[in-house]
C-alpha cells in the first residue's frame, strides 16, 4: 500500500469510533468512546514496535519507541508527538461517516445524497486546489474529525514506515494520545508529565498544508462573583442591590474595541462569555486572550481594578474575582537552547518543497499547555481544511505531505 492508502485506511479505522467530547461532563475523558479508542491505539502501538505502553486513569496513552542509531552515534534529542483522541461537539452527530471522493474533478461535492447535503465550490473555493486528489469529507451530518484523527493516522503510518524499514535511523520517540482537547485541553492538563520525558514535542493539529504554529494565545478564564442584596420590591428603595446590574456595569468598563469581533492577528481581547444569575447572586464569565504576555497580564490587572472599582461603587455588594490560567503562548517557552525544535520544522518542510505558512494562532493547542510545563511543543499542519464544521475535508495529497513532514522530522533529528 502506498502512503496515501495507508493514511486513508488508518483514518477510517479511528474515525469509526465515536469520540466526541462533552463539555458538560465532569470526568476525563468526558465520553466512553475515548476509552475505546485509547485501547485500540495501545494495541496498534504494540503491533508497530512501540514498547512501555501505558494508560492512566484519564485514558492518556503513552508509548516509547526505542532509538535505532548506528553504533557510536552521538545522542540525539528525545522527541514526543501528541495527538488528541476527541472530536469537537458542535451540535452535530457524534458518529462520523467519512465519504471518499476518488480523483476529485472539480465541482460541488455531494456529501449526502439522501439528505441532499453538498459542499459547494462557491462557498469553498479552496477545493479547486485539490483537483486530481482523493478527498475525504463527512456525510454532512457531523464533522469529519480529521481534527485530530488525521494526526493519529499520520503518527501510526510513520511508525509503520519505521517498523518496515529497519535501515531508517531514528532517535528515541514518545507517542502520546490525550482525550478532551476540545473542551479546554483537559486531557493534556490531566497528564502526569513525568510519563513523557522528552526534550521537545510536536502536535499535528492545524489545518492547511504548510501551516506551522509556535505562536499561540496566552489564555485565562475569569469569573466575577457578585452577591447583591435582595428583598421584596415593595421595600426595595435604597436597600436592594442588583448583582445583574453590577455585572452589566462591569461589562461597560471593558474596551469594546478589544473583543473577538474587533481584533485579529496577534491582538488580544476580553470576551464576555456568560452572565448567569438572579437578583441575589450573579457570575460574570470572561475569557482573556493575548499573544503578548505583558498585555495579557495587564488585562488581568485591569479586571482586578474593575472589581475594586465595583466594590467602591456598590459597597453593599460582595464581589470577588477568580482568574484561572488555561494555557500560554508556546513562543514564550522557546529559548535559544531549545529553538531547534522550530528550526527542524522549517527545515523539514523546506526540504520537502512545502511552502511554510508561519501562523500566529488565535487559540491554543495541547502544546500551549505542555509548553507551560517546560516541553516546547510547536504544531504543524494535518493538511485538512475547515476544522469544527461539517465542511471539514482531507485532501489526501496534503495529508500525505503532513506524514512526510513527520518522517522528515524524525530523519533530521536522527542526523543531529
Ligand atoms: Zn484539534
306 CA distance to ligand 1 middle (Å): 34
**Structure confidence at residue 401 as a pLDDT band (50, 70, 90):** very high
Residue pair 133/394 in contact by the 8 Å Cβ criterion:
no
CATH, domain 3-216+329-414, list 3.40.630.10, 1.20.1440.230, 3.40.50.300, 3.40.50.880: 3.40.630.10
Q: How far is the CA of 261 from the centre of ligand 1 (A)?
A: 22
Q: What is the pTM of this model?
A: 0.91
Q: How confident is the model at residue 251 (pLDDT cuts 50, 70, 90)?
A: very high
Are 3-216+329-414 and 219-325 equal in CATH topology? Answer: no
Output the CA 148–ligand 1 centroid distance in Å: 5
296: confidence class by pLDDT, cuts 50, 70, 90: very high
Question: For residue 1, is pLDDT > 90?
Answer: no
Residues in the chain: 416
Of all residues in the chain, the percent with pLDDT exceeding 70 is: 100
Q: What is the pLDDT of residue 299?
A: 98
Contacts of 181 (CB under 8 A, 6+ apart): 21, 84, 86, 148, 187, 188, 205, 365, 366
Set of cell numbers at residue 403: 506524514
Question: Would you put residue 132 in left (φ > 0), alpha (ψ -120 to 50) or beta?
Answer: left
**Neighbouring residues of 70: CB distance < 8 A, sequence distance ≥ 6:** 169
Q: Quick: pLDDT tens for 188-217.
A: 999 999 999 999 999 999 999 999 999 999
Distance in Å, CA 370 to ligand 1 centroid: 15
416 pLDDT exceeds 90? no
Residue-level pLDDT at 255: 97
Residue 204 has a pLDDT of 98
Q: 69: CA distance to ligand 1 center in Å?
A: 32
202-216 residues labelled b (16+ CB within 10 A) or e (exposed): bbbbbbbbbbbbbbb
The answer to whether residue 288 scores a pLDDT higher than 90 is yes
| 150 confidence band (pLDDT: 50, 70, 90) | very high
Nearest Cα residue to 149 out of 387, 401, 378: 387
Report which secondary-structure segment, H or E, holds 41: helix 33-47
- Phi, psi at residue 53, to the nearest 5°? -80, 130
pLDDT at 270: 98
How would residue 94 be classed by pLDDT, with cut points 50, 70 and 90?
very high
Cα separation, 152 vs 17, in Å, equals 13
The model's pLDDT over 306-334, given as tens digits with 9 standing for 90+, comes to 999 999 999 999 999 999 999 999 999 99
Ligand 1 centroid, distance to 323 Cα (angstroms):
25
| Cis amide prior to 29 (ω within 30 degrees) | yes
For the stretch 33-76, pLDDT in tens is: 999 999 999 999 999 999 999 999 999 999 999 999 999 999 99
Distance CA 70, CA 206 (A): 34
Average pLDDT, the chain: 97
pLDDT value of position 118: 98
Ligand 1 center–CA 341 separation, angstroms: 20
Beta strands in 242-292 (DSSP E): 269-277, 281-290
CATH architecture label of 219-325 = 2-Layer Sandwich (3.30)
Active-site positions read 86, 181
Determine the pLDDT at residue 323: 98
Mean pLDDT for 368-384 is: 96
What is residue 366's predicted lDDT score, i.e. its pLDDT? 92
pLDDT tens digits along 221-236: 999 999 999 999 999 9
CA-to-CA separations, 93 to 27, 89, 138, 185, in angstroms, rounded:
21, 8, 11, 21
In sequence order, what DSSP letters do the residues of 221-254 get, joined into one string?
EEEEEEE-B---GGG-TTT-B-HHHHHHHHHHTS
Give me the residue spans of the domains in the chain: 3-216+329-414, 219-325
> Beta partners for 175?
63, 81
- Kindly write down the DSSP assignment for every residue of 119-150, as one continuous string: E-TTT-GGGGGGTTS-EEE--SSS---HHHHH
Pairing of strands 51-55, 61-65: antiparallel
Amino acid at each position: 500500500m502506498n502512503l496515501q492508502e495507508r493514511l486513508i485506511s488508518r483514518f477510517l479505522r479511528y474515525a469509526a469510533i465515536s469520540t466526541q467530547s462533552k463539555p458538560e461532563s465532569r470526568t476525563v475523558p468526558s465520553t466512553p468512546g475515548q476509552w475505546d479508542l485509547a485501547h485500540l491505539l495501545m494495541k496498534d502501538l504494540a503491533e508497530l514496535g512501540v514498547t512501555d505502553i501505558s494508560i492512566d486513569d484519564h485514558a492518556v496513552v503513552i508509548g516509547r519507541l526505542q532509538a535505532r542509531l548506528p553504533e557510536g552515534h552521538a545522542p540525539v534529542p528525545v522527541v514526543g508527538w501528541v495527538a488528541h483522541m476527541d472530536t469537537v461537539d458542535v451540535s452535530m452527530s457524534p458518529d462520523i461517516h467519512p465519504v471518499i471522493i476518488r480523483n476529485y474533478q472539480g465541482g460541488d461535492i455531494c456529501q449526502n445524497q439522501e439528505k441532499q447535503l453538498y459542499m459547494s465550490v462557491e462557498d469553498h473555493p479552496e477545493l479547486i486546489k485539490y483537483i486530481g486528489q482523493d478527498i475525504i469529507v463527512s456525510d454532512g451530518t457531523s464533522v469529519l474529525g480529521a481534527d485530530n484523527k488525521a494526526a493519529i493516522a499520520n503518527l501510526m503510518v510513520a511508525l509503520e514506515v519505521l517498523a518496515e524499514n529497519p535501515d531508517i535511523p531514528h532517535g528515541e520517540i514518545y507517542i502520546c494520545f490525550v482525550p478532551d482537547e476540545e473542551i479546554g485541553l483537559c486531557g493534556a492538563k490531566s497528564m502526569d508529565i513525568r510519563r513523557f520525558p522528552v526534550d521537545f514535542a510536536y502536535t499535528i493539529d492545524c489545518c492547511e498544508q504548510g501551516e506551522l504554529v509556535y505562536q499561540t494565545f496566552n489564555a485565562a478564564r475569569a469569573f466575577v462573583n457578585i452577591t447583591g442584596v435582595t428583598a421584596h420590591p415593595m421595600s426595595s428603595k435604597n436597600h436592594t442591590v442588583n448583582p445583574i446590574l453590577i455585572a452589566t456595569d462591569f461589562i461597560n468598563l471593558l474596551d469594546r474595541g478589544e473583543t473577538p469581533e474587533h481584533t485579529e492577528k496577534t491582538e488580544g481581547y476580553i470576551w464576555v462569555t456568560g452572565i448567569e444569575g438572579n437578583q441575589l447572586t450573579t457570575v460574570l464569565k470572561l475569557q482573556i486572550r493575548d499573544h503578548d504576555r505583558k498585555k495579557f497580564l495587564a488585562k488581568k490587572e485591569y479586571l482586578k481594578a474593575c472589581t475594586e472599582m465595583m466594590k467602591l461603587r456598590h459597597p453593599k455588594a460582595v464581589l470577588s474575582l477568580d482568574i484561572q490560567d488555561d494555557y500560554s503562548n508556546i513562543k514564550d517557552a522557546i529559548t535559544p537552547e531549545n529553538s531547534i525544535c522550530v528550526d527542524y520544522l522549517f527545515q523539514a518542510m523546506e526540504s520537502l518543497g512545502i511552502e511554510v505558512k508561519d501562523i500566529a494562532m488565535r487559540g491554543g493547542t495541547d502544546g500551549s499547555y505542555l509548553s507551560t510545563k517546560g516541553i516546547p511543543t510547536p504544531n504543524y499542519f494535518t493538511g485538512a481544511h475547515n476544522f469544527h464544521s461539517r465542511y471539514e475535508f482531507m485532501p489526501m495529497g496534503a495529508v500525505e505531505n503532513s506524514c512526510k513532514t513527520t518522517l522528515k522530522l524524525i530523519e533530521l533529528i536522527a542526523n543531529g
